[in-house]
A and B are shown apart, each in its own frame.
Chain A
Amino acid sequence: MGSRRLIYLIMIVAVAAPILFGISQRPSRLVSAERMYDVIENVKVQPGEVAMVWLDFGPNTIAENEPQAMVMIEHLFRRRIPVILLSQYQQAERFLSRVPQTVARQLEAEMPGQTWRYGEAWINVGYKPGAAIFMQSLVNASNVSGFLGRDVNGMPISQYPTFASIGGIERVKVVGEVTGLVGVFDTIIQFFQKKGYRPTIVHGCTSITIPEAYIFLDSGQLNGLLEGIAGAAWYSEVLKNAHPSSDNSRLLVTNTALSAAHLVIIGLIIVGNLVPLFSRWRARHG
Protein backbone atom coordinates (compact mmCIF):
# COMPACT_ATOMS: atom_id res chain seq x y z
CA MET A 1 0.00 0.00 0.00
CA GLY A 2 1.43 3.37 -1.04
CA SER A 3 1.89 6.06 1.61
CA ARG A 4 -0.76 8.19 -0.12
CA ARG A 5 -3.38 5.47 0.29
CA LEU A 6 -2.26 4.84 3.87
CA ILE A 7 -2.92 8.52 4.63
CA TYR A 8 -6.41 8.27 3.09
CA LEU A 9 -7.10 5.19 5.19
CA ILE A 10 -5.92 6.84 8.42
CA MET A 11 -8.07 9.85 7.64
CA ILE A 12 -11.21 7.81 6.93
CA VAL A 13 -10.72 5.77 10.12
CA ALA A 14 -10.21 8.97 12.17
CA VAL A 15 -13.39 10.47 10.75
CA ALA A 16 -15.49 7.29 10.93
CA ALA A 17 -14.59 6.43 14.56
CA PRO A 18 -16.54 9.28 16.25
CA ILE A 19 -19.46 8.67 13.87
CA LEU A 20 -19.56 4.90 14.51
CA PHE A 21 -19.22 5.21 18.28
CA GLY A 22 -21.29 8.40 18.63
CA ILE A 23 -18.45 10.32 20.28
CA SER A 24 -19.16 14.03 20.66
CA GLN A 25 -17.44 16.96 22.29
CA ARG A 26 -18.87 20.32 23.25
CA PRO A 27 -18.18 22.71 20.33
CA SER A 28 -16.03 25.81 20.73
CA ARG A 29 -17.77 29.07 21.46
CA LEU A 30 -18.09 31.28 18.38
CA VAL A 31 -19.00 34.90 19.02
CA SER A 32 -20.30 35.59 15.50
CA ALA A 33 -22.74 32.66 15.76
CA GLU A 34 -23.94 34.02 19.10
CA ARG A 35 -24.42 37.42 17.48
CA MET A 36 -26.61 35.77 14.88
CA TYR A 37 -28.63 34.01 17.58
CA ASP A 38 -29.19 37.30 19.42
CA VAL A 39 -30.20 39.06 16.21
CA ILE A 40 -32.84 36.45 15.31
CA GLU A 41 -33.98 36.11 18.92
CA ASN A 42 -34.55 39.85 19.30
CA VAL A 43 -35.87 40.86 15.89
CA LYS A 44 -39.41 42.23 16.18
CA VAL A 45 -41.77 40.84 13.59
CA GLN A 46 -45.37 42.05 13.22
CA PRO A 47 -48.14 40.09 11.43
CA GLY A 48 -47.54 40.32 7.68
CA GLU A 49 -43.78 40.65 8.11
CA VAL A 50 -41.50 37.80 7.07
CA ALA A 51 -37.97 36.43 6.87
CA MET A 52 -36.46 35.62 3.49
CA VAL A 53 -33.91 32.81 3.42
CA TRP A 54 -31.81 32.11 0.35
CA LEU A 55 -30.44 28.57 0.20
CA ASP A 56 -27.76 28.93 -2.47
CA PHE A 57 -25.94 25.66 -2.09
CA GLY A 58 -25.85 22.29 -3.77
CA PRO A 59 -24.38 18.87 -3.05
CA ASN A 60 -20.85 20.31 -3.29
CA THR A 61 -21.17 22.26 -0.03
CA ILE A 62 -23.98 20.31 1.64
CA ALA A 63 -21.69 19.27 4.50
CA GLU A 64 -21.42 22.78 5.89
CA ASN A 65 -24.38 24.62 4.42
CA GLU A 66 -27.18 22.17 5.21
CA PRO A 67 -26.58 22.11 9.01
CA GLN A 68 -26.39 25.92 8.91
CA ALA A 69 -29.68 26.13 7.02
CA MET A 70 -31.24 23.71 9.49
CA VAL A 71 -30.30 25.69 12.62
CA MET A 72 -31.18 29.04 11.03
CA ILE A 73 -34.63 27.84 9.96
CA GLU A 74 -35.14 26.01 13.26
CA HIS A 75 -34.65 29.26 15.14
CA LEU A 76 -36.97 31.19 12.79
CA PHE A 77 -39.61 28.45 13.15
CA ARG A 78 -39.30 28.45 16.94
CA ARG A 79 -39.91 32.19 16.89
CA ARG A 80 -42.86 31.65 14.52
CA ILE A 81 -41.42 34.02 11.95
CA PRO A 82 -42.88 33.14 8.51
CA VAL A 83 -40.12 32.19 6.09
CA ILE A 84 -39.93 32.61 2.33
CA LEU A 85 -37.39 30.16 0.91
CA LEU A 86 -35.79 30.74 -2.47
CA SER A 87 -32.52 30.29 -4.31
CA GLN A 88 -30.24 31.80 -6.92
CA TYR A 89 -28.62 28.40 -7.49
CA GLN A 90 -30.24 25.64 -9.51
CA GLN A 91 -28.77 22.76 -7.52
CA ALA A 92 -30.41 23.99 -4.31
CA GLU A 93 -33.78 22.75 -5.57
CA ARG A 94 -33.90 19.68 -3.34
CA PHE A 95 -32.76 21.46 -0.17
CA LEU A 96 -35.45 24.13 -0.51
CA SER A 97 -38.03 21.46 0.23
CA ARG A 98 -36.03 19.01 2.37
CA VAL A 99 -34.58 21.40 4.97
CA PRO A 100 -37.83 23.07 6.19
CA GLN A 101 -39.72 19.76 6.10
CA THR A 102 -37.05 18.08 8.26
CA VAL A 103 -36.98 20.97 10.73
CA ALA A 104 -40.79 21.04 10.94
CA ARG A 105 -40.89 17.28 11.60
CA GLN A 106 -38.25 17.59 14.35
CA LEU A 107 -40.08 20.46 16.05
CA GLU A 108 -43.44 18.69 15.85
CA ALA A 109 -41.87 15.59 17.43
CA GLU A 110 -40.33 17.76 20.14
CA MET A 111 -43.52 19.70 20.85
CA PRO A 112 -46.57 17.45 20.35
CA GLY A 113 -49.69 19.46 19.58
CA GLN A 114 -47.85 22.24 17.80
CA THR A 115 -47.58 22.30 14.02
CA TRP A 116 -45.40 23.93 11.40
CA ARG A 117 -47.19 23.62 8.08
CA TYR A 118 -46.27 24.55 4.54
CA GLY A 119 -48.06 27.75 3.59
CA GLU A 120 -48.21 28.96 7.20
CA ALA A 121 -44.68 28.54 8.59
CA TRP A 122 -42.93 28.70 5.23
CA ILE A 123 -43.32 28.78 1.48
CA ASN A 124 -40.86 27.70 -1.18
CA VAL A 125 -40.75 29.92 -4.26
CA GLY A 126 -37.93 27.93 -5.85
CA TYR A 127 -35.04 28.87 -8.07
CA LYS A 128 -34.94 32.48 -9.26
CA PRO A 129 -32.58 33.21 -12.14
CA GLY A 130 -31.21 36.66 -12.87
CA ALA A 131 -29.08 37.27 -9.73
CA ALA A 132 -28.55 41.05 -9.47
CA ILE A 133 -31.33 41.92 -11.93
CA PHE A 134 -33.82 39.76 -10.03
CA MET A 135 -32.68 41.22 -6.70
CA GLN A 136 -32.99 44.78 -8.02
CA SER A 137 -36.54 44.11 -9.25
CA LEU A 138 -37.49 42.42 -5.97
CA VAL A 139 -36.26 45.37 -3.94
CA ASN A 140 -38.18 47.84 -6.10
CA ALA A 141 -41.40 45.82 -6.04
CA SER A 142 -44.23 47.49 -4.13
CA ASN A 143 -45.76 44.07 -3.44
CA VAL A 144 -43.28 41.25 -2.83
CA SER A 145 -46.06 38.61 -2.86
CA GLY A 146 -47.26 39.76 -6.28
CA PHE A 147 -43.73 40.01 -7.61
CA LEU A 148 -42.85 36.47 -6.55
CA GLY A 149 -46.14 35.31 -8.07
CA ARG A 150 -46.32 31.59 -7.43
CA ASP A 151 -44.63 29.05 -5.23
CA VAL A 152 -42.74 26.04 -6.52
CA ASN A 153 -45.98 24.01 -6.71
CA GLY A 154 -47.57 26.57 -9.04
CA MET A 155 -49.91 27.96 -6.35
CA PRO A 156 -50.37 31.75 -6.32
CA ILE A 157 -48.76 33.18 -3.18
CA SER A 158 -51.97 35.16 -2.65
CA GLN A 159 -53.61 31.82 -1.69
CA TYR A 160 -51.52 31.64 1.49
CA PRO A 161 -52.96 34.15 4.01
CA THR A 162 -49.65 34.57 5.91
CA PHE A 163 -47.79 35.56 2.76
CA ALA A 164 -50.60 37.09 0.69
CA SER A 165 -50.00 40.77 1.39
CA ILE A 166 -46.38 41.32 2.32
CA GLY A 167 -45.97 44.71 0.65
CA GLY A 168 -42.52 46.16 -0.03
CA ILE A 169 -39.18 44.82 1.23
CA GLU A 170 -39.59 46.90 4.37
CA ARG A 171 -41.75 43.97 5.52
CA VAL A 172 -38.83 41.55 5.08
CA LYS A 173 -37.25 41.83 8.52
CA VAL A 174 -34.54 39.19 8.28
CA VAL A 175 -32.59 38.07 5.23
CA GLY A 176 -30.65 34.83 5.58
CA GLU A 177 -28.15 33.68 3.00
CA VAL A 178 -26.61 30.21 3.18
CA THR A 179 -23.99 29.66 0.52
CA GLY A 180 -20.43 28.66 -0.22
CA LEU A 181 -20.43 30.26 -3.65
CA VAL A 182 -18.16 33.25 -4.18
CA GLY A 183 -20.06 36.34 -5.30
CA VAL A 184 -23.54 35.06 -4.47
CA PHE A 185 -23.63 36.55 -0.99
CA ASP A 186 -22.27 39.83 -2.41
CA THR A 187 -25.45 40.19 -4.47
CA ILE A 188 -27.49 40.34 -1.25
CA ILE A 189 -25.15 42.87 0.34
CA GLN A 190 -25.08 45.02 -2.80
CA PHE A 191 -28.73 45.04 -3.77
CA PHE A 192 -31.00 43.95 -0.93
CA GLN A 193 -31.55 47.45 0.42
CA LYS A 194 -33.36 50.59 -0.53
CA LYS A 195 -33.21 54.17 0.57
CA GLY A 196 -33.96 54.30 4.28
CA TYR A 197 -34.24 50.54 4.75
CA ARG A 198 -31.78 47.75 5.17
CA PRO A 199 -32.93 44.45 6.69
CA THR A 200 -31.06 42.40 9.26
CA ILE A 201 -28.74 40.17 7.24
CA VAL A 202 -27.35 36.87 8.54
CA HIS A 203 -25.12 34.48 6.65
CA GLY A 204 -23.99 30.86 6.76
CA CYS A 205 -20.72 30.43 4.89
CA THR A 206 -18.38 27.55 4.14
CA SER A 207 -14.93 27.47 5.72
CA ILE A 208 -13.37 28.63 2.45
CA THR A 209 -15.36 31.86 2.41
CA ILE A 210 -14.92 32.69 6.12
CA PRO A 211 -12.12 35.25 5.53
CA GLU A 212 -14.32 37.03 2.97
CA ALA A 213 -17.36 36.99 5.26
CA TYR A 214 -15.40 38.50 8.17
CA ILE A 215 -14.93 41.67 6.10
CA PHE A 216 -18.71 42.13 5.94
CA LEU A 217 -19.06 41.33 9.63
CA ASP A 218 -16.38 43.87 10.56
CA SER A 219 -17.95 46.60 8.43
CA GLY A 220 -21.40 46.02 9.96
CA GLN A 221 -22.94 44.99 6.62
CA LEU A 222 -23.56 41.57 8.13
CA ASN A 223 -25.33 41.11 11.47
CA GLY A 224 -24.44 37.51 12.25
CA LEU A 225 -22.38 34.69 10.79
CA LEU A 226 -22.21 30.90 10.94
CA GLU A 227 -18.68 29.75 10.16
CA GLY A 228 -18.77 26.30 8.60
CA ILE A 229 -19.82 23.27 10.63
CA ALA A 230 -18.31 24.76 13.78
CA GLY A 231 -20.64 27.77 13.54
CA ALA A 232 -23.69 25.56 13.03
CA ALA A 233 -22.63 23.32 15.93
CA TRP A 234 -22.24 26.22 18.36
CA TYR A 235 -25.55 27.75 17.17
CA SER A 236 -27.27 24.42 17.83
CA GLU A 237 -25.71 24.37 21.29
CA VAL A 238 -27.02 27.86 22.04
CA LEU A 239 -30.45 26.75 20.79
CA LYS A 240 -30.24 23.68 23.03
CA ASN A 241 -29.46 25.85 26.04
CA ALA A 242 -32.64 27.79 25.37
CA HIS A 243 -34.69 24.71 24.41
CA PRO A 244 -33.23 21.71 26.30
CA SER A 245 -35.45 19.17 24.53
CA SER A 246 -33.96 19.93 21.12
CA ASP A 247 -31.65 17.27 19.71
CA ASN A 248 -28.34 18.39 18.22
CA SER A 249 -26.43 15.14 18.80
CA ARG A 250 -25.83 14.38 15.12
CA LEU A 251 -24.37 17.83 14.47
CA LEU A 252 -22.08 17.56 17.51
CA VAL A 253 -20.79 14.17 16.28
CA THR A 254 -20.11 15.73 12.85
CA ASN A 255 -18.21 18.57 14.48
CA THR A 256 -16.20 16.12 16.61
CA ALA A 257 -15.33 14.01 13.54
CA LEU A 258 -14.08 17.18 11.84
CA SER A 259 -11.90 17.99 14.86
CA ALA A 260 -10.52 14.41 14.77
CA ALA A 261 -9.59 14.91 11.12
CA HIS A 262 -7.82 18.18 11.99
CA LEU A 263 -5.85 16.45 14.75
CA VAL A 264 -4.77 13.72 12.32
CA ILE A 265 -3.59 16.34 9.81
CA ILE A 266 -1.63 18.18 12.51
CA GLY A 267 -0.13 14.85 13.61
CA LEU A 268 0.82 13.93 10.04
CA ILE A 269 2.46 17.33 9.49
CA ILE A 270 4.51 16.87 12.67
CA VAL A 271 5.48 13.28 11.75
CA GLY A 272 6.22 14.33 8.16
CA ASN A 273 8.69 16.93 9.45
CA LEU A 274 10.23 14.84 12.25
CA VAL A 275 11.01 11.78 10.09
CA PRO A 276 13.39 13.60 7.67
CA LEU A 277 14.97 15.44 10.62
CA PHE A 278 15.54 12.15 12.44
CA SER A 279 16.89 10.50 9.26
CA ARG A 280 19.35 13.36 8.76
CA TRP A 281 20.42 13.21 12.42
CA ARG A 282 20.95 9.41 12.15
CA ALA A 283 22.95 9.75 8.93
CA ARG A 284 25.18 12.35 10.57
CA HIS A 285 25.72 10.46 13.86
CA GLY A 286 25.87 6.92 12.46
Chain B
Amino acid sequence: MDNGTMWELSSTLVGGIATLAIFSFLIRENGFYRFFEHLFIGIAAGLGPMLVIRDFLWPNILEPMLGYSMRMYPDGTPVKPYQPFYLLYLVPMAFGSLYYCIYSKRHAWLAKVVIGFTLGVSGALAIRGFFSEAIPQVASSFKPLVVFQNGVFSLFESLNNSLFVVTLLLVLNYFLFTFGRPGAVQGKIAPLGRPLLMVCFGAFFGSTVMARLALLVERVQFIVRDWVAAVGTLVGLG
Protein backbone atom coordinates (compact mmCIF):
# COMPACT_ATOMS: atom_id res chain seq x y z
CA MET B 1 0.00 0.00 0.00
CA ASP B 2 1.57 3.35 -1.06
CA ASN B 3 1.64 6.47 1.10
CA GLY B 4 -1.25 8.14 -0.74
CA THR B 5 -3.56 5.14 -0.29
CA MET B 6 -2.49 4.79 3.34
CA TRP B 7 -3.27 8.46 3.93
CA GLU B 8 -6.71 8.11 2.30
CA LEU B 9 -7.44 4.99 4.35
CA SER B 10 -6.39 6.57 7.65
CA SER B 11 -8.36 9.78 7.03
CA THR B 12 -11.46 7.74 6.14
CA LEU B 13 -11.11 5.62 9.29
CA VAL B 14 -10.63 8.66 11.55
CA GLY B 15 -13.45 10.50 9.74
CA GLY B 16 -15.81 7.58 10.38
CA ILE B 17 -14.95 7.40 14.07
CA ALA B 18 -15.40 11.18 14.38
CA THR B 19 -18.80 10.97 12.63
CA LEU B 20 -20.00 8.16 14.91
CA ALA B 21 -18.76 10.13 17.95
CA ILE B 22 -20.80 13.17 16.94
CA PHE B 23 -23.87 11.02 16.15
CA SER B 24 -23.59 9.41 19.60
CA PHE B 25 -25.06 12.67 20.94
CA LEU B 26 -28.41 11.48 19.55
CA ILE B 27 -28.44 8.79 22.23
CA ARG B 28 -27.22 11.01 25.03
CA GLU B 29 -24.53 13.54 25.95
CA ASN B 30 -21.23 11.65 26.48
CA GLY B 31 -17.49 12.06 26.78
CA PHE B 32 -16.80 10.49 23.36
CA TYR B 33 -18.91 13.21 21.71
CA ARG B 34 -17.34 15.99 23.84
CA PHE B 35 -13.81 14.92 22.92
CA PHE B 36 -14.45 15.06 19.17
CA GLU B 37 -16.40 18.31 19.44
CA HIS B 38 -13.44 20.00 21.12
CA LEU B 39 -11.06 18.39 18.66
CA PHE B 40 -12.99 19.88 15.72
CA ILE B 41 -13.12 23.34 17.31
CA GLY B 42 -9.37 23.19 18.01
CA ILE B 43 -8.52 22.13 14.46
CA ALA B 44 -10.75 24.81 12.93
CA ALA B 45 -9.22 27.50 15.18
CA GLY B 46 -5.65 26.41 14.44
CA LEU B 47 -6.17 26.06 10.70
CA GLY B 48 -7.10 29.75 10.20
CA PRO B 49 -3.90 31.42 11.41
CA MET B 50 -1.74 28.75 9.77
CA LEU B 51 -3.34 29.33 6.35
CA VAL B 52 -3.13 33.12 6.68
CA ILE B 53 0.61 32.81 7.35
CA ARG B 54 1.23 30.17 4.65
CA ASP B 55 -0.96 31.57 1.85
CA PHE B 56 -0.77 35.31 2.51
CA LEU B 57 1.72 36.69 5.03
CA TRP B 58 4.72 34.58 4.00
CA PRO B 59 4.50 34.64 0.16
CA ASN B 60 3.11 38.17 -0.21
CA ILE B 61 4.74 40.12 2.62
CA LEU B 62 7.55 38.40 4.50
CA GLU B 63 9.26 36.50 1.68
CA PRO B 64 9.76 39.50 -0.65
CA MET B 65 10.55 41.82 2.27
CA LEU B 66 13.26 39.49 3.57
CA GLY B 67 14.59 38.91 0.07
CA TYR B 68 13.87 35.17 0.06
CA SER B 69 11.84 35.38 -3.15
CA MET B 70 14.79 36.79 -5.13
CA ARG B 71 15.76 34.66 -8.12
CA MET B 72 19.47 33.88 -8.41
CA TYR B 73 21.82 32.96 -11.23
CA PRO B 74 23.73 29.70 -10.72
CA ASP B 75 26.73 31.68 -9.48
CA GLY B 76 24.63 33.12 -6.65
CA THR B 77 24.19 36.67 -7.97
CA PRO B 78 20.60 37.94 -7.97
CA VAL B 79 18.69 38.30 -11.27
CA LYS B 80 17.31 41.61 -10.01
CA PRO B 81 18.70 43.67 -7.11
CA TYR B 82 16.75 43.70 -3.84
CA GLN B 83 13.86 46.19 -3.92
CA PRO B 84 14.04 48.30 -0.74
CA PHE B 85 10.46 49.49 -1.40
CA TYR B 86 9.30 46.19 0.13
CA LEU B 87 10.37 47.63 3.48
CA LEU B 88 7.41 50.03 3.18
CA TYR B 89 5.24 47.05 4.19
CA LEU B 90 6.57 47.67 7.70
CA VAL B 91 4.53 50.89 7.92
CA PRO B 92 1.04 49.29 7.62
CA MET B 93 2.26 46.32 9.68
CA ALA B 94 3.34 48.64 12.50
CA PHE B 95 0.09 50.57 12.20
CA GLY B 96 -1.99 47.36 12.35
CA SER B 97 0.00 46.14 15.34
CA LEU B 98 -1.30 49.11 17.31
CA TYR B 99 -4.53 47.07 17.61
CA TYR B 100 -2.82 45.10 20.39
CA CYS B 101 -2.60 48.29 22.47
CA ILE B 102 -6.20 47.51 23.39
CA TYR B 103 -4.75 45.34 26.18
CA SER B 104 -3.06 48.34 27.80
CA LYS B 105 -5.22 50.85 29.68
CA ARG B 106 -2.67 53.58 29.12
CA HIS B 107 -2.26 53.07 25.36
CA ALA B 108 -5.73 51.80 24.44
CA TRP B 109 -6.41 55.04 22.55
CA LEU B 110 -3.86 53.93 19.92
CA ALA B 111 -6.01 50.87 19.18
CA LYS B 112 -8.97 53.20 18.59
CA VAL B 113 -7.06 54.83 15.73
CA VAL B 114 -6.72 51.44 14.01
CA ILE B 115 -10.35 50.53 14.75
CA GLY B 116 -11.48 53.89 13.34
CA PHE B 117 -9.46 53.31 10.18
CA THR B 118 -10.88 49.79 9.79
CA LEU B 119 -14.43 51.05 10.30
CA GLY B 120 -13.87 53.73 7.67
CA VAL B 121 -12.62 51.21 5.10
CA SER B 122 -15.40 48.71 5.93
CA GLY B 123 -18.04 51.45 5.75
CA ALA B 124 -16.82 52.63 2.36
CA LEU B 125 -16.77 49.07 0.99
CA ALA B 126 -20.24 48.39 2.41
CA ILE B 127 -21.68 51.48 0.71
CA ARG B 128 -20.09 50.59 -2.61
CA GLY B 129 -21.18 46.96 -2.24
CA PHE B 130 -24.73 47.89 -1.29
CA PHE B 131 -25.28 49.99 -4.38
CA SER B 132 -23.83 47.47 -6.82
CA GLU B 133 -25.90 44.70 -5.21
CA ALA B 134 -29.21 46.37 -4.39
CA ILE B 135 -29.79 48.79 -7.26
CA PRO B 136 -30.19 46.07 -9.93
CA GLN B 137 -32.59 44.25 -7.59
CA VAL B 138 -34.69 47.38 -7.04
CA ALA B 139 -34.73 47.97 -10.80
CA SER B 140 -35.77 44.37 -11.49
CA SER B 141 -38.69 44.67 -9.07
CA PHE B 142 -40.38 47.18 -11.41
CA LYS B 143 -42.14 44.50 -13.41
CA PRO B 144 -44.83 45.04 -16.03
CA LEU B 145 -48.23 43.71 -14.89
CA VAL B 146 -49.32 42.92 -18.43
CA VAL B 147 -46.72 40.91 -20.33
CA PHE B 148 -46.57 40.33 -24.06
CA GLN B 149 -44.13 37.74 -25.39
CA ASN B 150 -43.43 37.97 -29.14
CA GLY B 151 -46.48 40.19 -29.45
CA VAL B 152 -48.77 37.65 -27.74
CA PHE B 153 -50.31 38.24 -24.31
CA SER B 154 -48.78 35.86 -21.73
CA LEU B 155 -51.28 35.07 -18.98
CA PHE B 156 -48.79 33.09 -16.89
CA GLU B 157 -46.09 35.78 -16.89
CA SER B 158 -48.67 38.49 -16.23
CA LEU B 159 -50.06 36.59 -13.22
CA ASN B 160 -46.53 35.86 -12.03
CA ASN B 161 -45.51 39.52 -12.17
CA SER B 162 -48.79 40.67 -10.59
CA LEU B 163 -48.33 38.24 -7.70
CA PHE B 164 -44.78 39.50 -7.24
CA VAL B 165 -45.79 43.17 -7.24
CA VAL B 166 -48.79 42.65 -4.91
CA THR B 167 -46.62 40.66 -2.46
CA LEU B 168 -43.89 43.30 -2.58
CA LEU B 169 -46.33 46.14 -1.89
CA LEU B 170 -48.19 44.32 0.90
CA VAL B 171 -45.00 43.31 2.70
CA LEU B 172 -43.50 46.80 2.36
CA ASN B 173 -46.75 48.22 3.72
CA TYR B 174 -46.62 45.81 6.68
CA PHE B 175 -43.32 47.36 7.73
CA LEU B 176 -44.56 50.97 7.55
CA PHE B 177 -44.57 51.98 11.21
CA THR B 178 -44.07 55.70 10.90
CA PHE B 179 -47.40 56.93 9.54
CA GLY B 180 -50.86 55.74 8.75
CA ARG B 181 -53.76 55.30 11.14
CA PRO B 182 -55.45 52.05 12.18
CA GLY B 183 -58.64 53.16 10.45
CA ALA B 184 -57.01 54.26 7.21
CA VAL B 185 -56.70 52.01 4.15
CA GLN B 186 -52.97 51.57 4.78
CA GLY B 187 -53.69 50.36 8.33
CA LYS B 188 -56.48 48.03 7.18
CA ILE B 189 -54.42 46.21 4.56
CA ALA B 190 -51.24 46.06 6.71
CA PRO B 191 -52.14 42.66 8.29
CA LEU B 192 -52.31 41.12 4.80
CA GLY B 193 -48.51 41.24 4.66
CA ARG B 194 -48.22 38.86 7.60
CA PRO B 195 -49.50 35.64 5.93
CA LEU B 196 -47.25 36.35 2.95
CA LEU B 197 -44.29 36.66 5.31
CA MET B 198 -45.34 33.38 6.96
CA VAL B 199 -45.25 31.67 3.54
CA CYS B 200 -41.72 33.02 3.11
CA PHE B 201 -40.65 31.80 6.55
CA GLY B 202 -42.16 28.39 5.77
CA ALA B 203 -40.06 28.21 2.60
CA PHE B 204 -36.97 29.18 4.59
CA PHE B 205 -37.71 26.54 7.22
CA GLY B 206 -38.37 23.85 4.61
CA SER B 207 -35.10 24.61 2.84
CA THR B 208 -33.26 24.56 6.17
CA VAL B 209 -34.64 21.09 6.91
CA MET B 210 -33.57 19.97 3.44
CA ALA B 211 -30.01 21.24 4.04
CA ARG B 212 -29.76 19.40 7.36
CA LEU B 213 -31.07 16.19 5.82
CA ALA B 214 -28.55 16.52 3.00
CA LEU B 215 -25.83 16.51 5.67
CA LEU B 216 -27.30 13.35 7.17
CA VAL B 217 -27.47 11.65 3.77
CA GLU B 218 -23.84 12.52 3.02
CA ARG B 219 -22.65 11.20 6.39
CA VAL B 220 -24.69 7.99 6.12
CA GLN B 221 -23.33 7.50 2.61
CA PHE B 222 -19.80 8.04 3.92
CA ILE B 223 -20.28 5.56 6.78
CA VAL B 224 -22.14 2.90 4.79
CA ARG B 225 -19.90 2.96 1.72
CA ASP B 226 -16.49 4.51 2.37
CA TRP B 227 -15.93 3.83 6.06
CA VAL B 228 -17.20 0.24 6.02
CA ALA B 229 -14.98 -0.41 2.97
CA ALA B 230 -11.99 1.14 4.77
CA VAL B 231 -12.61 -0.99 7.87
CA GLY B 232 -12.88 -4.03 5.58
CA THR B 233 -9.51 -3.16 4.01
CA LEU B 234 -7.96 -2.71 7.46
CA VAL B 235 -9.10 -6.12 8.72
CA GLY B 236 -8.12 -7.77 5.45
CA LEU B 237 -11.56 -8.28 3.93
CA GLY B 238 -11.30 -5.56 1.26
Contacts and interface: CB of A to CB of B under 8 A. Distances in A.
B125 A16 contact: no
Interface in B108-131: 121, 125, 128-130
Interface string A116-148: 000000000011111011001000000000000
A218 to B, nearest CB: 6
A211 interface: yes
A208 B208 contact: yes
Given A149-B59, A220-B136, A207 B217 contact: no
A193 B55 CA distance: 24
B125 A136 contact: yes
Given A220-B140, A221-B136, A254-B217, A90 B51 contact: yes
Given A93-B47, A150-B59, A207-B208, A186 B215 contact: no
Pick the most buried of B51, B128, B129: most chain A CB atoms within 10 A of its CB: B51
Interface stretch (A4-12, A237-245, A270-278): A4-12
11 contacts: A12-B216, A15-B217, A61-B215, A63-B217, A129-B56, A136-B125, A152-B55, A190-B129, A206-B211, A207-B210, A216-B137
Contact of B136 (A127, A187, A219, A265): A219
A228 B211 contact: yes
Interface stretch (A24-32, A75-83, A106-114, A256-264): A256-264
B213 to A, nearest CB: 4
Interface of A: 5, 8, 11-12, 15-16, 19-20, 60-64, 90-91, 93, 126-130, 132-133, 136, 149-150, 152, 154, 180, 186-187, 189-191, 193, 206-208, 210-211, 215-216, 218-221, 228-229, 250, 253-254, 257-258, 261-262, 265
Size category of the B interface is: 35 or more
A134 B219 CA distance: 34
A117 B26 CA distance: 44
Contact of B125 (A126, A132, A210): A132
A91 B56 CA distance: 15
Contacts of B48: 90
A190 B26 CA distance: 41
B19 to A, nearest CB: 10
Nearest to B131: A190
B56 A133 contact: no
Nearest to B57: A129
Given A19-B221, A128-B56, A257-B221, A207 B133 contact: no
A190 B128 contact: yes
